[in-house]
Structure 1
Amino acid sequence: MASQIQTINPATEKVIATYTRMTAAEAERAVEACQAAFEKWRLVSLEDRAAMIKAIGQTLRDNREEFAALMTREVGKLIGDSRDEIDLCAAICDFTAEHGPEELAPEEREIPGGTGVITYAPIGVIYGIQPWNFPCYQAVRYSVANLMAGNGVLLKHASNCTGSGLFLRDLFERAGLPKDLFTVLVIDHDLSDEIIAHKLVRGVTLTGSGDAGRAVAQKAAWHLKKTLLELGSNDAYLVLDDADLDLAVECCAQGRLYNNGQTCVNAKRFVVTEKNYDAFVERFTEKMRACKMGDPASEDTELGPMSRTELRDELAQQVKESVEKGARALCGGEVPDRTGAFYPATVLVDVKPGQPAYDDELFGPVASVIKAKDDEDAMRIANDSRFGLGGGIFSKDVARARELASTYFDTGMVSINSYNVAIPNMPFGGVKDSGYGREHGGFGMKEFVNAKSLYIG
Structure 2
Amino acid sequence: MSYQTINPLTDEVIKTYDNHDDAYVEKAIAKGHALYKKWRNDPVESRAAALNKVADVMEAQTDELAKVLTLEMGKRFLEAQGEVAICVSIARYYAKNAAEFLKPEPIESSIGPAQTISRPTGVLMTVEPWNFPYYQIMRVFAPNFMVGNPMLLKHASYTPMAAGAFEKVVSEAGLPDGAFTNLYVDYDQVNHIIADDRVQGVALTGSERAGQLIAAEAGKSMKQSSLELGGSDPFIVLEDADLSEIKKIIGGARLYNAGQVCTSSKRFIVTENNYDAVLDMLKTAFAEAKIGDPMDATTTLAPLSTSNAKQNLTKQVKLAVEAGATLAYGSVEQNLPAAQFEPVILTNITKENPAFYQEFFGPVGQVYKVKDEEEAIALANDSHYGLSGVVFGGSADHAAEVASQLETGAVFVNSFGGTLPELPFGGVKNSGYGRELGRFGIETFVNKETIVTKHEPIDLNDAFGGFV
TM-score, normalised to structure 1, is 0.97
2:193 pairs with 1:188: no
2:215 pairs with 1:235: no
Q: Which runs of no fewer than 5 residues in structure 2 stay unpaired?
A: 455-468
2:118 pairs with 1:106: no
The one-letter amino acid of 1:427's match is: P
Deviation digits for residues 208-233 of structure 1 (CA, Å, limit 9, x no counterpart): 11111111101110111111000111
| 1:40 CA displacement | 2.1
Any residues of structure 2 matched to 1:255-270 within 5 Å, and which?
255-270=253-268
2:407 pairs with 1:410: yes
CA distance in 2, matches of 1:127, 1:113: 39
Bigger CA drift: 16-25 or 115-124? 16-25
CA distance in 1, matches of 2:205, 2:443: 18
Any residues of structure 2 matched to 1:41-440 within 5 Å, and which?
41-406=39-404, 408-440=405-437
The one-letter amino acid of 1:228's match is: S
2:450 paired residue number: 453
Q: 1:197 to 1:113 in 2, by over 3 A?
A: closer
Deviation digits for residues 221-270 of structure 1 (CA, Å, limit 9, x no counterpart): 01111110001110011011011112223322211101110011010000
2:466 paired residue number: none
| 1:334 CA displacement | 3.6
The one-letter amino acid of 2:13's match is: V
Q: Residues 203 and 225 of structure 2 are in contact (CA less than 8 Å); yes or no, is this contact kept in structure 1?
A: yes
2:15 pairs with 1:17: yes
Deviation digits for residues 363-401 of structure 1 (CA, Å, limit 9, x no counterpart): 000000011111111111000101000011011110011
Q: Residues 30 and 180 of structure 1 are in contact (CA less than 8 Å); yes or no, is this contact kept in structure 2?
A: yes
Deviation digits for residues 44-93 of structure 1 (CA, Å, limit 9, x no counterpart): 32112122212211211011000000011010001111000011111111
Q: Residues 335 and 344 of structure 1 are in contact (CA less than 8 Å); yes or no, is this contact kept in structure 2?
A: no
Aligned equivalent of 2:26, options 25, 28, 36: 28
Q: Residues 272 and 371 of structure 1 are in contact (CA less than 8 Å); yes or no, is this contact kept in structure 2?
A: yes
CA distance in 2, matches of 1:76, 1:41: 38
Q: Residues 314 and 334 of structure 2 are in contact (CA less than 8 Å); yes or no, is this contact kept in structure 1?
A: no
Bigger CA drift: 294-303 or 283-292? 283-292
| 1:345 CA displacement | 1.5
2:441 paired residue number: 444
TM-score, normalised to structure 2, is 0.95
CA distance in 2, matches of 1:57, 1:223: 34
Q: 1:356 to 1:290 in 2, by over 3 A?
A: farther
Q: Which has the larger radius of gyration?
A: 2
CA distance in 1, matches of 2:147, 2:439: 11
CA distance in 2, matches of 1:355, 1:48: 55
CA distance in 2, matches of 1:4, 1:429: 30
Q: Residues 105 and 116 of structure 2 are in contact (CA less than 8 Å); yes or no, is this contact kept in structure 1?
A: yes
Q: Residues 116 and 454 of structure 1 are in contact (CA less than 8 Å); yes or no, is this contact kept in structure 2?
A: yes
Q: Residues 250 and 285 of structure 2 are in contact (CA less than 8 Å); yes or no, is this contact kept in structure 1?
A: no
CA distance in 1, matches of 2:12, 2:333: 19
| 1:306 CA displacement | 0.6
Secondary structure at the counterpart of residue 430 of structure 2: helix
| 1:5 CA displacement | 2.5
Secondary structure at the counterpart of residue 439 of structure 2: coil
Q: Residues 96 and 442 of structure 1 are in contact (CA less than 8 Å); yes or no, is this contact kept in structure 2?
A: no
Bigger CA drift: 169-178 or 70-79? 169-178
The one-letter amino acid of 1:414's match is: V
Equivalent pairs: percent with the same residue? 39
| 1:335 CA displacement | 4.5
| 1:4 CA displacement | 4.9
Secondary structure at the counterpart of residue 359 of structure 2: coil
* RMSD, aligned α-carbons: 1.2
CA distance in 2, matches of 1:74, 1:34: 28
Aligned equivalent of 1:5, options 3, 6, 25: 3
Report the count of equivalent residues: 454
The one-letter amino acid of 1:107's match is: E
CA distance in 2, matches of 1:253, 1:442: 32
Q: Residues 315 and 363 of structure 1 are in contact (CA less than 8 Å); yes or no, is this contact kept in structure 2?
A: yes
Deviation digits for residues 114-141 of structure 1 (CA, Å, limit 9, x no counterpart): 2101100001001100000001000111
The one-letter amino acid of 1:263's match is: V
Secondary structure at the counterpart of residue 136 of structure 1: helix
CA distance in 1, matches of 2:360, 2:384: 14
